[in-house]
């Protein structure tokens, strides 16, 4: 399938698993954060959420507003088993066989019980994206997906422009304030800049893999796909970069890779890289901030014990 063609997505939500995963964070699940990211991948044609909606009634209005079909499943105490997992698997496999135009399946859950489902979907040549919380996601499920996104890494959708604009009927004075000259900043967010060496290591690992496959040109999209094959949960934002292009620019600024722009779509192409230099530079930042060596203390001079001189005994008369 061509990478330029948008994907057709089917989204399946194990709602109870997601809500329980956010319970310790005291955070309310926001489905718009997930859908905003998935719309970057392609068109969403199926959206279903499975839960006992009598128990999660406060969430129902928000799910309806997002045009998500709510699938009611019996409570566990009535059936003795998690009916949501079974129903979700049956519906996903049914779409996999009956709707060949759906090429991407999104599973919102961290439950390892969905690993066989993921394997079967990939066996049917479907691209599988997983979404879950960091605290409750099984490593088995995460590594089995083609791509995995942590809910905590998703940026909340910004408020619409109409909410931030002042009403047209109210005249507000316009005050022109000269913008301060921004100070030069790194391509990475300072809060997680210490993870840059790890990001450079992942980058060179992907470049070496593509080189072993006798690739002639290293497109930025091809590099990221190679990274995701080994690290499904990879997100450049976790390493402080606002985009994958920023990560490549940072590597070029450090002299690790040579970049050029494609004339057609203006994307980056890595022309050359040197693995040895990347490996050395990957630890350079860590070595630059190493703690100062303690000053060696001079050994203390040993003192000889003093001899006690006995006073001569008084002569007896």
Bigger pLDDT: 185 or 226?
Answer: 226
Containing 11, the helix (H) or strand (E) segment is: strand 7-14
Beta bridge partners, 273, equal: 257
Domain interval for residue 46: 7-155
Does 235 map to a domain? yes
One domain, residues 85 and 12: yes
One domain, residues 141 and 214: no
One domain, residues 142 and 260: no
- The total number of structural domains that make up the chain: 2
Q: What is the DSSP letter of 188?
A: B
One domain, residues 13 and 102: yes
Question: Of the candidates 97, 16, 90, which has an alpha carbon nearest to the alpha carbon of residue 49?
Answer: 16
How high is the pLDDT of residue 286?
Answer: 39
pTM assigned to the model:
0.59
One domain, residues 146 and 21: yes
**Contacting residues for 296 by C-beta, under 8 A, at least 6 apart:** none
Q: How many CB atoms lie within 10 A of CB 237?
A: 16
Place of tokens 């060596």: 293
CATH code for the domain in which residue 91 is found: 3.40.50.1010
One domain, residues 34 and 130: yes
In the chain, the largest separation of any two C-alpha atoms, in whole Å, equals: 129
Does 132 map to a domain? yes
One domain, residues 137 and 246: no
Span 285-298, pLDDT tens digits: 433 434 445 555 55
One domain, residues 138 and 234: no
Query: How does the average pLDDT of the chain come out, rounded?
Result: 77
One domain, residues 147 and 203: no
One domain, residues 37 and 133: yes
Place of tokens 């040579």: 258
One domain, residues 18 and 139: yes
């Amino acid at each position: 399938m061509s990478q330029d063609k948008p994907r057709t997505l089917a989204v399946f939500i194990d709602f109870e698993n997601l809500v329980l995963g956010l319970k310790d964070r005291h955070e309310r699940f926001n489905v718009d954060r997930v859908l905003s990211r998935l719309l970057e991948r392609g068109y969403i044609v199926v959206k279903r959420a499975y839960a006992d909606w009598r128990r999660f009634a406060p969430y129902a209005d928000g799910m309806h507003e997002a045009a998500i079909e709510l699938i009611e499943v019996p409570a566990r105490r009535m059936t003795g088993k998690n009916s949501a997992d079974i129903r979700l698997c049956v519906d996903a496999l049914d779409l996999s066989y009956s709707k060949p135009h759906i090429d991407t399946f999104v599973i919102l859950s961290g439950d390892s019980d969905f690993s066989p489902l993921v394997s079967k979907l990939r066996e049917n040549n479907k691209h599988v994206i997983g979404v879950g919380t960091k605290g409750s996601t099984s490593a088995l499920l995460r590594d089995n997906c083609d791509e995995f996104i942590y809910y905590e890494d998703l940026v909340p959708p910004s408020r619409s422009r109409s909410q931030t604009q002042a009403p047209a009927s109210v005249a507000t004075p316009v005050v022109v304030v000269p913008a301060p000259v921004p100070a030069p900043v790194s391509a990475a967010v300072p809060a997680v800049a210490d993870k840059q060496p790890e990001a450079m290591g992942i980058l060179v690992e992907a470049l070496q893999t593509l080189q072993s496959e006798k690739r002639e040109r290293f497109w930025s999209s091809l590099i990221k796909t190679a990274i995701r094959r080994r690290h499904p949960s990879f997100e450049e934002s976790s390493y402080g970069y606002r985009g994958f292009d920023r990560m490549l620019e940072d590597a070029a600024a450090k002299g690790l890779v040579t970049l050029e722009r494609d004339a057609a779509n203006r994307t980056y192409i890595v022309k050359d890289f040197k693995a040895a230099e990347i490996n050395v530079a990957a630890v350079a930042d860590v070595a630059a901030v190493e703690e100062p060596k303690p000053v060696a203390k001079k050994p203390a001079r040993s003192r000889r014990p003093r001899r006690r001189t006995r006073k001569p005994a008084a002569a007896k008369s």
